Amino acid sequence: DSFPSCENSNQDFGSSYFPAENVIEYKWPPDETGEYYMLQEQVSEYLGVTSFKRKYPDLERRDLSHEERRAYFDLQTHIIQVPQGKYKILSTNMTKVSPYPVSLIPGQFQEYYKRYSPDELRYLPLNTALYEPPLDP
């Protein structure tokens, strides 16, 4: 058989598969006068095109206005900036500046640690436990 059969024509999508239901269409402005748009990055990922402008130079494009963007990801601090008023504002005692603002390595404490007494440390298996755990009454 030189003809490909249905069993042999499986497509290996791999990590580049982008389903059509992930392409989001939105209306801007959201009132009756708005038009429907899609994000160029999502369409190019769906079509598998690396240079969308070069492949389709005649398509109409426009830049997103700042009102259309719901969030902004700051690449330097890795913080997602969202418009104010969408989320609850924390009280000042929850956002106070501390001597340990961020953990530098995974598992490093920031503000939440417990001091153990010398008696409690004897029950912990740091190298070897010095005492057996107390029996429940």
Distinct helix (H) and strand (E) counts, the chain: 3, 4
Q: Which residues lie below 8 Å from residue 95, measured CB to CB, with a gap of 6+?
A: none
pTM for the whole structure? 0.40
Closest by CA position to 63, among listed 28, 114, 17: 28
Q: Kindly list the distances between the CA atom of residue 42 and the CA atoms of 25, 45, 50, 51, 53, in Å, as whole numbers in the listed order.
A: 10, 5, 11, 12, 13
Predicted local confidence at residue 7, as pLDDT: 46
pLDDT tens figures, 91-116: 888 777 777 666 666 666 666 667 88
Q: What percent of the chain has pLDDT over 70?
A: 70
pLDDT tens digits, 39-62 = 888 888 888 888 888 888 888 888
Measured in whole angstroms, the distance separating CA 123 from the mean position of its chain's CA atoms is 41
- Inter-residue contact 50 to 41 (CB < 8 Å): no
What are the CA-CA distances from residue 86 to residues 67, 70, 81 (Å)?
14, 10, 11
